[in-house]
Amino acid sequence: MRNKSEENGMGGQIQEAGAERARIPVLKTYKIYVDGKFPRTESGRYFQFKSPAGGWSANLCECSRKDFRDAVTAARGAFAKWSKATPFNRGQILYRVAEMLEGRKAQFVEELLHQGLTRAQAESEVAASVDRLVYYAGWTDKFQQVFSAVNPVASSYFNFSVLEPTGVVAVLAPEESSLLGLVSCVAPVIAGGNSCVVLASSRLPLCAVTLGEVLNSSDVPGGVVNILTGFRKELLAQFSSHMDVNGVLYCGDSAEEIRKVQTDAALNVKRVSLQPEQDWAKAEAQGPYPILAFQEVKTTWHPIGN
Amino acid sequence: MYTLTPVDQVGIEERIARLNARSIKKEAKLEALKLALSMLDLTTLDSKDTPGKVKQLCAKAIRPCEAMPELPSVAAVCVYPNLVRVAKKALQGHRINVAAVATAFPSGMSSLKFRLEETRWAVNEGADEIDMVVSRGKFLAGEYDAVADEISAVKEACGKAHLKVILETGELSTLDNVRLASDIAILAGADFIKTSTGKIQPAATLPVTLVMLQAIRDHYYRTGKVIGMKPAGGIATAKLALQYLVMVRETLGETWLHPDRFRFGASTLANDLLRQIVKEKTGVYQSLDYFSKD
Amino acid sequence: MKTKKSLAKEEAAPRLNFKTSWTYQPALESTAPARIAGRYELFIGGKFVAPAGGKYFPTINPATESKLSEVAEAGEKDVDQAVRAARAAKEGAWGRMPAKERGKYLFRIARMIQERSRELVVTETLDGGKPIRESRMVDIPLAANHFFYYAGWADKLEYAFPARRARPVGVAGQIIPWNFPLLMAAWKIAPALAAGNTVVLKPAETTPLSALKLAEIIQEADLPPGVVNVITGAGATGAALVAHPGIDKVAFTGSTEVGKNIQKAIAGSGKRCTLELGGKSAHIIFEDAALDQAVEGIVDGIFFNQGHVCCAGSRLFVQESVAKQVIRRLRDRMETLIVGDPLDKNTDIGAINSKPQLEKIESYVKAGLAEGASCYQPECALPKKGYFHRPVLFTDVAQSHRVSQEEIFGPVLAIQTFRTIEEVVEKANNTPYGLAGGVWSDKGAKVFSVTSQLRAGVVWANTYNKFDPTSPFGGYKESGLGREGGLHGLAPYLELS
């Protein structure tokens, strides 16, 4: 549709101006996504992504500890409302994210091509990512039914255990799966009512920033998902040690990094979930259990009497 | 308007369980058995009651056990109004009260005029205490002011006689109602509040009594006035009586551990108390065959 | 609503007199059923064995300060032996055993605890100082019930986790505290065994006896050697167990400080971990509550087990309009609490578990006074010997005071008042802990609104300090990781694939 209107309007004018010169494409600025806005890193630093095939590059924010701090503040602020949103509502919003992603398929495919995938691989990854969002959209109002419990205590009490979100989760997203891995990690965290701060893959960062745009245009309240770009080496210790972070989702296989995350987690008894690098397209990469990784069981007692 | 004081049934039952875990042994037990005996309203409320039976009961009230003259007398004898005179005569010279159930006992299903007249007549016959019944129908219909007005009217009819107000808790359905009825009766002028007529099951229970004691305590907190308590019906064993005393002790304390403030309405309890007293004294378990059934 | 005037009037109202002429006499339980031996060895590989280092430490009765027995101190060698025995059992008889047979062993242990309950009840009270009433009515029956509950899970695990295959994690190293010695052992061992694991259990150094008696029961029940190993010792023994490369999972109940050290110690090791840690739980009384039952709840919440309860309702929030009424009732109720010999069936508050713990409580009471809080304690006589402490109420407490921030683990209650729901929820959640909470209101809608806003793993509404094997227990935030009890208590002991 857009192409057509361009042809009928401005596009035509450009062609008239000089046929020997192609249109200058408008390049996207890859900013970070914090608190529902798209700021640049406070540090003013950036790093360059170069497409492996060459000929295309982009500048990305090299986030600092202060960016992370701001993102945690945003996530903490968003948690109160998001955790209390009805599961139905969260499902609707996640489905809306899927719809928006589907609608912007082309952009993600293009970015995945820049990041070195074949068109077939890229299209398949975007499709799988949309489907994964739909999958978790469907879980939001069901995992509670499957995993909560009414406990038959031996006294005159009604006793039940429900799941409640852990809080603010720091996500160290997969390095090797730019979109599907990211979606597979973030979707269960927010489906369960948590808010999160994500460090995107530093090697393949493009889709993460664009996913932020998708989230922003699809009713996910600002601050629920915050996406930073930069380097693990610098930010891992911040992600694992911040005292207002309740959980860490670590994706990767570095024994050293895992040890660091788990050591720092002890500072405030963070919940740590580990995900190895994997083929995120496989069926086992999804399920209710990733949601449960950041759920707390709350048991309530109430007397039964007159 | 009355303030509703909510009561949680499960919480009350747990408190009872905790109180019942108190272990009362040896001298503490003996002392409590004697105290319970002195708190008895020895009761006979059968339509086949005769003057002869009432006289026997009075003899037992004065001296519960021939073999143990050192034991205290009971607090009162409780009879129908037409036997008040008999009891009064039999108890002459002893500090034992005569209580009469009045106000169309046990149902209360009569005109107020008749019930007041019956009260005055019983007092005239010599009753020291009047055990009245409240109109449960009116209470359950929410006509609290009417219930209170009736109690006030009976209180006035009592003159010098003490008024015990029977709530008939077995018909009140919930502990919230027991609490509300207690508050109404206390504010309307009851000297004692009493659980039951003994004609309806369940009669007195520990949970109901605890709720009533709490109403009494709150009135005391507010006004400093001491209202008495009488559980009646269904208290047949010494063990149960001791559980009541533990409850009184830990809810209201010293002031209420006295026959002027706490009574047991019972008929068969006396003999079990006596049996346990003898057992405590001799160390030998006793048979009821050795205690007179009056 | 009460006016200020009527509140003042209530305060001035006459006090009840609980110094009654009729009182209870001490009703002492006999110590004979405890049958405590002069010395206890380590239970490793199905046998009671002497520690490699030949060292023993005394365990004393905190109510009398006299020595009850001496207990082997497990060193690194012993820890290693125990872990090896557990591993061998896991790879051997226990690992191969059909699940339903495993379950039958647990049923058998449950029954034997019931059979030897009197012995265990008296032992628990002698070794730990808790009132015999609580040992008899709470600790020992719940311990037996816990085995009974998990026994039935052994051959039904495939129903617990949809679409996953559940396998045992392996060897579990379990460290338990001194406040509920046998019950905590049951909380640890029963789900681990039901799930097919083997265990090395380290009881607390001040209360090792009931766990050693449980070891006797396990031996008598003819469990294959090495399925359960009990090694006694202090912190060093626990640290050696946590650090041992042969364990696959750590389960710890105790202080948040030690819990964090454990989490740190096993970082990167691949060992799994559940932690049940400290708390400073908020207990909230709204003006529309059943106040008398709320007062009972407050008493159970803070004075149960001398306040040595991780989920104790140690921060009381009372709505301002009923604060004076509640505090007066509470003070009168405290007048009837009997503090003294734990063996007396009438004792409500027994001995503080150890001298260091008593000193810790005393220092907090001093701190509370120094910070300007008002203190109330009933006048009750304390035994001359032993570690005892009167129950304490602090009023005029600020959120910033140490007595309302830090876990005291004693019979000390810090009371604050509040006006609005928003205010009390905010104060209740204003803590790094998140173990438990209590809410009292007769209004159902308010109850569920507030219970769902509390960031805590166990919330008691119109009750407090209730426990059941089917009911998951555990904390949010720094109060722990994972759950114990119920279906959710199985997960930490299973590898899902």
Examine residue C25 and state whether it is found in any structural domain, yes or no.
Answer: no
Nearest CA in chain B to A304: B10
Using 50, 70 and 90 to split pLDDT, how confident is the model at C379?
confident
Q: Is A151 helix (H, G, I), strand (E, B) or coil?
A: coil
Q: Name the β-bridge partners of C229.
A: C200
Contact of B175 with chain A, judged by CB distance below 8 Å, is answered with: yes
Does A24 score more than 90 pLDDT? no
| Interface predicted TM-score of the whole assembly (ipTM), two decimals | 0.96
Of C421, C424, C401, C422, nearest in space to C413 by CA:
C401
The residues of B annotated as belonging to the active site are 131, 194, 230
Examine residue C467 and state whether it is found in any structural domain, yes or no.
Answer: no
What is the predicted pLDDT for the residue at A11?
36
pLDDT tens sequence across B215-266 = 999 999 999 999 999 999 999 999 999 999 999 999 999 999 999 999 999 9
**Cα–Cα distance, B208 to B181 (Å, whole number):** 11
Residues in A touching C264 (Cβ below 8 Å)? 262-263, 266
Does B95 score more than 70 pLDDT? yes
* Annotation marks residue C380 as catalytic: no
pTM of the model: 0.95
Using 50, 70 and 90 to split pLDDT, how confident is the model at C79?
very high
Q: Is B65 helix (H, G, I), strand (E, B) or coil?
A: coil
More confident residue, A14 or A29: A29
A-interface mutation test, from B9, B10, B13, B174, most A Cβ less than 10 A away: B10
Examine residue C1 and state whether it is found in any structural domain, yes or no.
Answer: no
Greatest distance between any 2 Cα atoms in chain C: 76
Structural domains counted in chain C: 2
What is the predicted pLDDT for the residue at C6?
45
HSE of B73, CA atoms in CB hemisphere, 13 A: 15
- CATH number (domain holding residue C136): 3.40.605.10
Catalytic residue selected from C119, C134, C287, C310: C310
| Residues C142 and C130 both lie in one domain | yes
**Contact: C24, B23; criterion CB under 8 Å:** yes
| Residues C365 and C481 both lie in one domain | no
C-interface mutation test, from A84, A143, A240, A269, most C Cβ less than 10 A away: A269
Examine residue C112 and state whether it is found in any structural domain, yes or no.
Answer: yes
Nearest CA in chain B to C443: B6
Taking the CA of residue C486 and the nearest CA in chain B, the distance in Å comes to 23
Examine residue B1 and state whether it is found in any structural domain, yes or no.
Answer: no
**Contact: A303, B174; criterion CB under 8 Å:** no
| Residues C196 and C246 both lie in one domain | yes
| pLDDT (mean) for B75-99 | 97
**C-alpha dihedral sign at C376, B246, B219, C318:** positive
Does C487 score more than 70 pLDDT? yes
For every residue of C351-364, DSSP letters joined together read --S-HHHHHHHHHH
Taking the CA of residue A212 and the nearest CA in chain C, the distance in Å comes to 29
* Annotation marks residue C29 as catalytic: no
Examine residue C375 and state whether it is found in any structural domain, yes or no.
Answer: yes
Q: What is the CA radius of gyration of chain B?
A: 18
Contact of B65 with chain C, judged by CB distance below 8 Å, is answered with: no
Of C264, C463, C488, the CB nearest to A161: C488
Enumerate neighbours of B (3 or more CB pairs within 8 A). A, C
- Helical packing angle, B206-223 and B175-188, nearest 10°: 40
Does A218 score more than 50 pLDDT? yes
Taking the CA of residue A267 and the nearest CA in chain C, the distance in Å comes to 7
**Residue numbers of C between 216 and 245 with CB closer than 8 Å to A:** none
CB count within 10 Å of CB B154 equals 26
Does C442 score more than 90 pLDDT? yes
**Contact: A298, C466; criterion CB under 8 Å:** no
Using 50, 70 and 90 to split pLDDT, how confident is the model at A250?
very high
Examine residue C5 and state whether it is found in any structural domain, yes or no.
Answer: no
The pair of structure tokens assigned to A153 is: 């205590």
Residues in B touching A306 (Cβ below 8 Å)? 9, 173-176
Residues in A touching C254 (Cβ below 8 Å)? none
At residue C495's C-alpha, the angle toward residues C492 and C497, to 5°, is 135
Residues in B touching A158 (Cβ below 8 Å)? none
Q: How far is CA A40 from the centre of its chain?
A: 18
pLDDT tens sequence across B267-285 = 899 999 999 999 999 999 9
Residues in A touching C137 (Cβ below 8 Å)? none
Q: Give the structural domain span for C211.
A: 32-277+477-496
Using 50, 70 and 90 to split pLDDT, how confident is the model at C11?
low
Strand (E) or helix (H) holding C79: helix C76-91
| Residues C438 and C348 both lie in one domain | yes
pLDDT tens sequence across A223-242 = 999 999 999 999 999 999 99
Please check whether residue A231 is in contact with residue A202, taking contact to mean a CB–CB distance below 8 angstroms. yes
Taking the CA of residue B229 and the nearest CA in chain A, the distance in Å comes to 24
Please check whether residue A204 is in contact with residue A233, taking contact to mean a CB–CB distance below 8 angstroms. no
CB pairs under 8 A between A and C: 116
Nearest CA in chain C to B223: C13
Q: Name the β-bridge partners of A157.
A: A303
| Residues C91 and C125 both lie in one domain | yes
Residues in B touching A156 (Cβ below 8 Å)? 10, 13
What is the predicted pLDDT for the residue at A4?
41
Contact of C463 with chain A, judged by CB distance below 8 Å, is answered with: yes
Q: Which residue shows structure tokens 């007595």?
A: C403
**Cα–Cα distance, A174 to C304 (Å, whole number):** 49
Taking the CA of residue B30 and the nearest CA in chain C, the distance in Å comes to 10
What is the predicted pLDDT for the residue at A3?
42
Q: Which residue shows structure tokens 């405030």?
A: A268
Q: Is A82 helix (H, G, I), strand (E, B) or coil?
A: helix
Q: What is the rounded average pLDDT for all residues in chain C?
A: 96
**Contact: B9, A305; criterion CB under 8 Å:** yes
Contact of B6 with chain C, judged by CB distance below 8 Å, is answered with: yes
Does C321 score more than 80 pLDDT? yes
The DSSP output letter for C484 is B
Examine residue C194 and state whether it is found in any structural domain, yes or no.
Answer: yes
- CATH number (domain holding residue C422): 3.40.309.10
pLDDT tens sequence across A48-105 = 999 998 889 999 999 999 999 999 999 999 999 999 999 999 999 999 999 999 999 9
Residues in B touching C292 (Cβ below 8 Å)? 7, 11, 15, 214
What is the predicted pLDDT for the residue at A25?
83
Contact of B9 with chain C, judged by CB distance below 8 Å, is answered with: no
Of B121, B126, B133, nearest in space to B77 by CA:
B126
Query: What percentage of chain B exceeds 90 in pLDDT?
Result: 95
At residue C375's C-alpha, the angle toward residues C371 and C378, to 5°, is 160
| pLDDT (mean) for C60-73 | 98
Contact of B9 with chain A, judged by CB distance below 8 Å, is answered with: yes
CA dist list (Å): A196 to A63, A172, C455: 16, 10, 18
**Contact: A268, C473; criterion CB under 8 Å:** no
| pLDDT (mean) for C312-324 | 97
Using 50, 70 and 90 to split pLDDT, how confident is the model at A20?
low
Residue type, B174: T
Q: Which residue shows structure tokens 């007549």?
A: B121
pLDDT tens sequence across A34-48 = 999 999 999 999 999
| pLDDT (mean) for B169-179 | 97
Does B67 score more than 70 pLDDT? yes
Contact of A305 with chain B, judged by CB distance below 8 Å, is answered with: yes
Using 50, 70 and 90 to split pLDDT, how confident is the model at B44?
very high
What is the predicted pLDDT for the residue at B52?
96
pLDDT tens sequence across C156-215 = 999 999 999 999 999 999 999 999 999 999 999 999 999 999 999 999 999 999 999 999
Of C432, C447, C457, the CB nearest to A299: C457
B-interface mutation test, from C17, C21, C24, C338, most B Cβ less than 10 A away: C24
**Contact: C470, A271; criterion CB under 8 Å:** no
**Cα–Cα distance, C202 to C218 (Å, whole number):** 15
Structural domains counted in chain B: 1
Helices (H), C152-223: 181-194, 209-220
| Residues C368 and C409 both lie in one domain | yes
Nearest CA in chain C to B254: C20
Examine residue B4 and state whether it is found in any structural domain, yes or no.
Answer: no
Query: What percentage of chain C exceeds 90 in pLDDT?
Result: 96
What is the predicted pLDDT for the residue at A12?
38
**Cα–Cα distance, C133 to A11 (Å, whole number):** 88
Q: What fold is seen in the domain A59-303?
A: Aldehyde Dehydrogenase; Chain A, domain 1 (3.40.605)
Enumerate neighbours of A (3 or more CB pairs within 8 A). B, C
End-to-end CA distance of chain B: 46
**Contact: B13, A156; criterion CB under 8 Å:** yes
Residues in C touching A297 (Cβ below 8 Å)? 457, 472, 474, 483, 488
Q: Give the structural domain span for B120.
A: 9-290
Residues in A touching B176 (Cβ below 8 Å)? 306
Query: What percentage of chain A exceeds 70 in pLDDT?
Result: 93
Taking the CA of residue A159 and the nearest CA in chain B, the distance in Å comes to 14
Please check whether residue A171 is in contact with residue A185, taking contact to mean a CB–CB distance below 8 angstroms. yes
Residues in C touching B222 (Cβ below 8 Å)? 9-10, 13
A-interface mutation test, from B9, B169, B205, most A Cβ less than 10 A away: B9
- CATH number (domain holding residue B46): 3.20.20.70
Taking the CA of residue A134 and the nearest CA in chain C, the distance in Å comes to 20
Q: Which residue shows structure tokens 């496989």?
A: A282
Q: What is the rounded average pLDDT for all residues in chain A?
A: 93
Does C441 score more than 90 pLDDT? yes
What is the predicted pLDDT for the residue at C12?
57
Residue partners of B71: CB distance under 8 A and separation at least 6: B34, B37, B63, B64, B65, B274, B277
Does B96 score more than 70 pLDDT? yes
Of C24, C328, C345, the CB nearest to B28: C24
HSE of B98, CA atoms in CB hemisphere, 13 A: 28
Q: Is C239 helix (H, G, I), strand (E, B) or coil?
A: helix
**Cα–Cα distance, B225 to B261 (Å, whole number):** 11
**Contact: B175, A306; criterion CB under 8 Å:** yes
